[in-house]
Every structure is written in C-alpha cells, then in structure tokens.
Amino acid sequence: MKSNTAIPVRKPAHVSLDAELLERAQHLKIDISKASEEGLARAVAQRQASIWLEANGAALQSSNEFVDRHGLPLASYRLF
C-alpha cells in the first residue's frame, strides 16, 4: 500500500499504446508516464472495489433487508 508521505519507487514498464492516441497525447504535451500511472491507479481501485463487493455483497444485502424489514436499529435515538 502506498503511503502519502513515502516517495514512490519507480520501476520501468514496457507498455503498448494506441499509436494515434499516443501522438495526440504528445501533441497536447501530456505526461505519458503520469497519465498512465493515474489511469492504472484508477483501474486498480475499481478492481479492488469490485473484489470487495463480491466478497461482501451478501452481507450488505442481508443488512439492507434487515433495515427494510425492521428499520434502523437506533432510529428512536435520532434527534433529526
């Protein structure tokens, strides 16, 4: 896991990109490495969320069904 204060260690990676997209990005002076890293970080986060939801989906559904049937457990203590 990446810490907010740690300097990330960089590792070279060989990737193949759509040639036209790469040319457009270069023309727009987009930092290819940074954009690739940001896109990869988003893809990793989305996949981790998907895996978490697969692992916990049944528990979430059960909890939602309980609330639908019985209401929120501490609703009587709400001040709003």
Residue 2: predicted pLDDT: 59
Q: Report whether pLDDT(3) > 80.
A: no
Per-residue model confidence (pLDDT) at position 26: 97
Q: Give dist(CA 10, CA 36) in Å, integer.
A: 13
Q: What is the largest CA-CA distance in the chain?
A: 61
Reported as a pLDDT band with limits 50, 70 and 90, residue 76 is confident
pLDDT in tens, 25-56: 999 999 999 999 999 999 999 999 999 999 99
**Residues 6+ positions from 25 with CB-CB distance below 8 Å:** 32, 35
Residue 17 neighbours by CB under 8 Å, 6+ apart: 32
